[in-house]
Structure 1
Amino acid sequence: MAGKSGLRRDSKHRVLRRGESIRANGKYQFKYHIGGKPHFVYSWRLEPTDPLPVGKKPCLSLRELEKQIGYDLDNRLDPLGKNITVNELVERYLKTKVGMRPNTLANYNFVRNILKNEPFGSQKISKIKTSDAKLFLIKMQQEDGRGHSTIKTVRGVLRPAFQMAVGDDVLMKNPFQFELAGVVVNDAVTREAVTKDQMRKFLKFIHDDVVYCKYYEVIYILFHTGMRISEFCGLTMKDIDLEKRTININHQLQRTSKREYVIEPTKTNAGTRVIPMTNEVTEMFRAIIEDRPDYKVEKVVDGYTGFLFRNATCSHALGTQIQSYGQQV
């Protein structure tokens, strides 16, 4: 209501500032503009010291909300963007990622599904402090039993997502900008390279075994070239030059979550390379090529054909068997 001086006052005769008013139900309202468009915030209390009406949920006072809005506008932050949840921020961030490889997309979907089932994902990004971010990752490990690699993957999405919010002038600080090592325990198993003696024993067993002997040339090549199995499975006849004794590695064969085969670039730029072959490796490839039938119909995957083995499926299955056996030994 307005007094004799023309100033609007509340029921306690306190002068209401510009933009402040009281609705019919007794709720305080503050009106402000962004880009010429009006926006509103509401509260049941004008000052922080005002008692909360019976039956109403706890909330910041109108003057506290005004202070937050003024701070955001003074620092050129977007007060509206701060109201989005962690899940909404992640969705917005993932929309900026285009041209992703199938495996990368699968990892993003994995993180998306984890956050959808976590109360953390429903929180407003403006409420997330660095300690909240750390406690969330600790909970994932200690209470949920998530492994270090999973936690690293989740944080690998959350950190750039929150950094995007900083870049968009929504937040002042990224709560995930900390070293992971000081927060969660790295319980990942350290891999140890086999010794030359172990390699010789392994190859001898493969050579003499009635089941695995058919894979001897393949395993010998993998040991002596350092190729990834996905690179080996993607090899075509054109990639092998027995005269120059070279292997051209510029792609790999992968299988998506939908069990579809795709050709992808090498894992890193350094992965695109030409590998020289020793005499022994050359002979192993020669034996494989000589045993390869002349098929009337070749398997084609993303324009690649003439795979070293019968088709992409057989090639990938071979790699899977080698991996499985290697883990057992």
Structure 2
Amino acid sequence: MAQTRKDLRGRVLRKGESQRRSDERYVYTYTDPLGRRKYVYAQDLVTLREKEAQLMKDQMDGLDIYVAGKATVNFVFDRYMSLKNNLKPTTKSNYLYMYDRFVRDTFGKRNIAEIKYSDVVQFYNYLVEKQELQINTLETVHTLLHPTFQLAVRDDIIRKNPSDGVMAELKKNLGMKTGVRHALTIPQQRAFMEYIATHPIY
């Protein structure tokens, strides 16, 4: 039977907890998503366990994975949207519809830290050539992905935004002029209206 660990006052400590004799500080030891050993310190046991609880909450929320650079594009997009409190309901619904339809089940599942400029170009080309997206629809997708990557840059998850300059390059390759607008196709409009009608927020 394993020996019970106690602090200097005789209180039973949990797994991962210990107390240093040198300065009587409490320590919680754990392993992060990358397999690295980490330490949390506190002057008293109550504070240490509060920090432990916050770590557990971060793990439940996926925040530890995000900080470790293992988050998917979907995770960061959802995080980005949770911060956009100023969006009108119809605008937010449109954004979610576009993302769910064209990004979430494919490109969105990729690790955001591993995506390069060329990956974004290839994905956009795929949307235009295989999914037959109009340029204005692709611009909406870009309007969602670019700030998603930018959030990861600001949070120090990635160094550069891999979507910078992609739309300009794509338009150049397609020989298109900026400013040209195209409406959604009838099937796209119908799918969008069905999405609004069935979305739990609405």
Post-superposition shift, 1:116? 2.0
CA distance in 2, matches of 1:187, 1:117: 30
Match of 1:135 among 114, 122, 137: 122
Post-superposition shift, 1:124? 0.3
CA distance in 2, matches of 1:152, 1:101: 19
Post-superposition shift, 1:151? 0.7
- Which position in structure 1 is the counterpart of 2:99? 112
Moved more, 136-145 or 105-114: 105-114
Q: Deviations over 1:71-101 (max 9, x none)?
A: xxxxxxx984411111111111100100311
SS at match of 2:103: helix
Which structure's residues are more often helix, by fraction?
2
SS at match of 2:32: strand
5+ unaligned residues in a row in structure 2: which ranges? 1-27, 36-64, 182-195, 198-202
How many residue pairs get aligned? The number is 124
Match of 1:101 among 82, 88, 94: 88
Alignment of 1:171-250 (within 5 A): 171-184=158-171, 185=174, 186=176, 190=180
Post-superposition shift, 1:40? 5.5
5+ unaligned residues in a row in structure 1: which ranges? 1-34, 43-77, 192-256, 259-329
Letter in 2 for 1:96: L
- Which position in structure 1 is the counterpart of 2:108? 121
Alignment of 1:16-165 (within 5 A): 37-39=30-32, 41=34, 80-113=67-100, 114-118=102-106, 120-165=107-152
Letter in 1 for 2:170: V
Which structure carries more relative contact order (alpha carbon 8 Å, separation 6+)? 2
CA distance in 1, matches of 2:110, 2:136: 24
SS at match of 1:94: helix
Per the alignment, do residues 40 and 97 of structure 1 end up closer, same or farther by CA in structure 2, a change over 3 Å counting? closer
Provide the alpha-carbon RMSD of the alignment.
2.9
Mapped contact 2:33–2:68 kept (Cα < 8 A): no
Mapped contact 2:99–2:144 kept (Cα < 8 A): no
- Which position in structure 2 is the counterpart of 1:32? none
Mapped contact 1:149–1:188 kept (Cα < 8 A): no
- Which position in structure 2 is the counterpart of 1:221? none
Post-superposition shift, 1:41? 3.9
4+ residue runs of structure 1 moved beyond 6 angstroms? Answer: none
Per the alignment, do residues 79 and 101 of structure 1 end up closer, same or farther by CA in structure 2, a change over 3 Å counting? closer
Mapped contact 1:159–1:177 kept (Cα < 8 A): yes
TM (normalized to structure 2)? 0.53
CA distance in 2, matches of 1:140, 1:100: 26
Look at both structures and tell me which one has the larger radius of gyration over its CA atoms.
1
CA distance in 2, matches of 1:123, 1:157: 16
Post-superposition shift, 1:107? 2.1
Per the alignment, do residues 170 and 143 of structure 1 end up closer, same or farther by CA in structure 2, a change over 3 Å counting? same
Letter in 2 for 1:98: N
Per the alignment, do residues 158 and 79 of structure 1 end up closer, same or farther by CA in structure 2, a change over 3 Å counting? closer
CA distance in 1, matches of 2:157, 2:125: 26
Mapped contact 1:148–1:188 kept (Cα < 8 A): no
TM (normalized to structure 1)? 0.34
Letter in 2 for 1:162: F
Per the alignment, do residues 105 and 79 of structure 1 end up closer, same or farther by CA in structure 2, a change over 3 Å counting? closer
Mapped contact 2:121–2:166 kept (Cα < 8 A): no
